[in-house]
Structure 1
Amino acid sequence: MVAFHELTVPLFSFILLILFLKRRRSTAGKIFPPSPRKLPIIGNLHQLGKSPHRSLLTLSKRHGELMLLHLGSKPVLVASSAAAAREIMKNQDLIFSNRPKLSAPDRLTYGSRDVAFSPYGEYWRHVRSICVLQLLSNRRVQSFRRVREEETSLMIERIARSPAGAAVNLSEELVATTNDVICRVALGRKYGGGGEERRFKKFLSEFVELLGASPVGDLVTWLAWVDRVGGLDAKVERVARLFDEFLEHVVREHREVEKSGRVDDEELDFVDILLQFQRENEKTSPVEDETIKALILDMFAGGTDTTVSSMEWTMAELIRNPRTMKVLQNEVREVARNKVEVDEEDLEKMPYLKAVMKESLRLHSPVPLLVPRESTEDTKVLGCDVASGTRVMVNAWAISRDPSLWENPEEFCPERFLDTSIDYKGLHFEFIPFGAGRRGCPAVAFAMSVNELAIAKLVHKFNFGLANGGRGEDLDMSETIGIAVHKKLPLLVVV
């Protein structure tokens, strides 16, 4: 035993020395982005805090526009400037177009078969083209105009029926309206009424919450047991099963209607369109049922949570800034004139409305760190070496508050967008609330058509005060973090 011990100690030391020298040779002559000091095992995790986008902005002021963090065992590149974002999402977009495998989204989206979380490659190109050409083209978005107009009108009617002086939970109204629009567009009908509505809302809320979860095992592999013991794994499995059962029922229901010949081409929803595409491409490019279900999940995840977030922040900012609210109301009411309600044709005559929407997105990026990317090969970014397999976070929230790009960046000032071509479609890297490049959000036109119409109708019909006589400037604007950033407290108004 002693002889064996005497042999193993020097052998172990020799192996450690070889590994150290090999690592040193592999990093010799390389310039890595600056890094904050890290702790054993957790790395820089303790520095993220409750609002990672804010903590990372603070760190970037000390360490620079590019930082290399270690979140557990994962190297993470953080980009906090327009120049760094342009390099990652335009100049080297192909190298940074992959997605890291995240355990919760992976299990919820049938092994990342959706567009948002699917790894870059042939499959992703195939499903993205289905979404862009079949579901989210301008023609298709316009075809759902009636749905958007009807559901936003119903919202206005519900608010108008509230007793005089009573508080209205505007956050709840925006959630209900957005869910109803998405349900009708994606599934063909609303899932409402009694227990069915409550169950659907509950597991949709859980689904969105879990997409934004940060399992310990994703960052420190050997601590994955924590997610099992803490119940996160079980919750993910339960919600994935519930949504699969629900979507299986939806797909079966649509197939039965299709067989009966009762489908009207003017009333096609996303499931109809995907099933039609599946049938037409059965022999050339087969589409599995799990792909159809994963794409529908994307519509809910991207179409409800982020849309509600942006509308909620817009209304909060308007209430906090009564002068801006008055300018917008004057524009909307002037365009609408004697019409009972605003319709989508009116929106193109409202430049100030569009400026308000952009300014709200600038101050309150729905997904402030965007969806993470991953490098597929060794490269250089702004003179710094970045290794293959590095996770990448682009802090869109920090970039849109950069004082070198924006005058008085903390102020809500829609006028800054009136005489500029800067837009949110991924061409201007100082303003990227929906991302950019290959992995930019393909549903921008769909989301904004709902946002603009809902806000225009609200300010056209109502004047707003805060419940309990509160003053707009005192409105609590604290955040709660998930896949999208929401107001921590619901927006309670008197109309």
Structure 2
Amino acid sequence: MLPQKEPKKLPPSSPSIPILGHLQLMKLFLHQVLYSLSQSYGPIFSLHFASCQVVIVSSAKVAEECCTNYDIVLANSPSTVAGGNSGYDDRILVFASYGEQWRNICRFCTLEIFSSARLNSFLPIRRDEIKRLLLNRNKEPQPHHLATTSLRMLTGKRYFGEDVTKADEATVLREVMSEIIEYVVSAYPGDYLSILRLVLRNYEKKCLS
């Protein structure tokens, strides 16, 4: 007779539905739902999205420990419809799981984007964008300031706000970015229970378009 495995000790969790688990919590603003749960169950709690077990961490201290002591273990990302279509079959940094591809991308980002030499070369751009932000603080809010700064650092062009380099190109890029963000950050139950993809076909069609 084989010895029985001890059950895993999981963080507290809210009541779930058989088979579905907590899929009913997957709404458009999932982050607000998770925040509400953290107020009831504490900074660390667990959920089950069908057969996928997840642990939510909303404590900065614990998150830091996860990123330092368990970074390789937690570097893997589950395959999703959005990642497959918008992330070139999970090949970009946001969707890629730990491996050779992931390490190469991280190495490239470290050397070509986040190195001291690179950040110093982008200093005039960052200063100019901060100056623009401060000068326009009493005007319309600028929710795309971070995207503007990042894109200008990468391409040397402005795609949001004033002084857009190429209006037509900027319009197309803004539309594409909005669509990608909409589907990447949205919660799609079909990622966790494949039979739901037969019902929620519209999501996949939009991701492919």
Q: Is 1:216 the equivalent of 2:184?
A: no
> Structure 2 vs 1, CA of residues 123 and 197 (structure 1 numbering), >3 Å: closer, same or farther?
closer
Structure 1 residue identity aligned to 2:73:
I
Structure 1 residue identity aligned to 2:175:
K
Q: CA deviation at 1:126?
A: 1.6
> Structure 2 vs 1, CA of residues 88 and 170 (structure 1 numbering), >3 Å: closer, same or farther?
closer
> Structure 2 vs 1, CA of residues 58 and 148 (structure 1 numbering), >3 Å: closer, same or farther?
closer
| Structure 1 portions without partners, runs of 5+ | 1-21, 161-166, 239-495
Tell me what 1:186 maps to. Answer: 154
Identity of aligned residues (%): 28
Tell me what 1:356 maps to. Answer: none
Structure 1 residue identity aligned to 2:118:
R
SS at match of 2:53: strand
Q: CA deviation at 1:124?
A: 0.9
Tell me how far apart the structure 1 counterparts of residues 184 and 103 of structure 2 sit (CA, whole Å).
22
> Structure 2 vs 1, CA of residues 196 and 210 (structure 1 numbering), >3 Å: closer, same or farther?
same
Q: Is 1:131 the equivalent of 2:109?
A: yes
Q: Check whether the contact 1:216–1:226 (CA below 8 A) recurs between aligned residues.
A: no
Greater percentage in helix: 1
Tell me what 2:119 maps to. Answer: 141
> Structure 2 vs 1, CA of residues 186 and 30 (structure 1 numbering), >3 Å: closer, same or farther?
closer
**Bigger RCO (CA 8 Å, 6+ sep):** 1
Say how many residue pairs are matched: 203
Tell me the C-alpha RMSD between the 2 structures: 3.2
Tell me how far apart the structure 2 counterparts of residues 54 and 180 of structure 1 sit (CA, whole Å).
26
TM-score by length of 2: 0.77
Tell me how far apart the structure 2 counterparts of residues 217 and 41 of structure 1 sit (CA, whole Å).
13
Match of 2:174 among 194, 201, 211: 201
Q: Is 1:237 the equivalent of 2:208?
A: yes
| Structure 2 portions without partners, runs of 5+ | none
Tell me how far apart the structure 2 counterparts of residues 155 and 29 of structure 1 sit (CA, whole Å).
53
SS at match of 2:199: helix
Tell me how far apart the structure 2 counterparts of residues 86 and 179 of structure 1 sit (CA, whole Å).
25
Q: Deviations over 1:176-226 (max 9, x none)?
A: x54443333212334544433322222222222222122221121111123
Q: Check whether the contact 2:26–2:187 (CA below 8 A) recurs between aligned residues.
A: no
Structure 2 residue identity aligned to 1:124:
W
Tell me what 2:199 maps to. Answer: 226
Q: Deviations over 1:215-259 (max 9, x none)?
A: 22112111112342x2x2222222xxxxxxxxxxxxxxxxxxxxx
Q: Deviations over 1:327-380 (max 9, x none)?
A: xxxxxxxxxxxxxxxxxxxxxxxxxxxxxxxxxxxxxxxxxxxxxxxxxxxxxx
Q: Check whether the contact 1:105–1:210 (CA below 8 A) recurs between aligned residues.
A: no
Tell me how far apart the structure 1 counterparts of residues 132 and 71 of structure 2 sit (CA, whole Å).
42
Tell me how far apart the structure 2 counterparts of residues 179 and 65 of structure 1 sit (CA, whole Å).
29
Larger Rg computed on CA atoms: 1
TM-score by length of 1: 0.36
Structure 1 residue identity aligned to 2:182:
E
Structure 1 residue identity aligned to 2:122:
F
Tell me how far apart the structure 1 counterparts of residues 73 and 62 of structure 2 sit (CA, whole Å).
14
Match of 1:95 among 61, 67, 73: 73
Tell me what 1:296 maps to. Answer: none
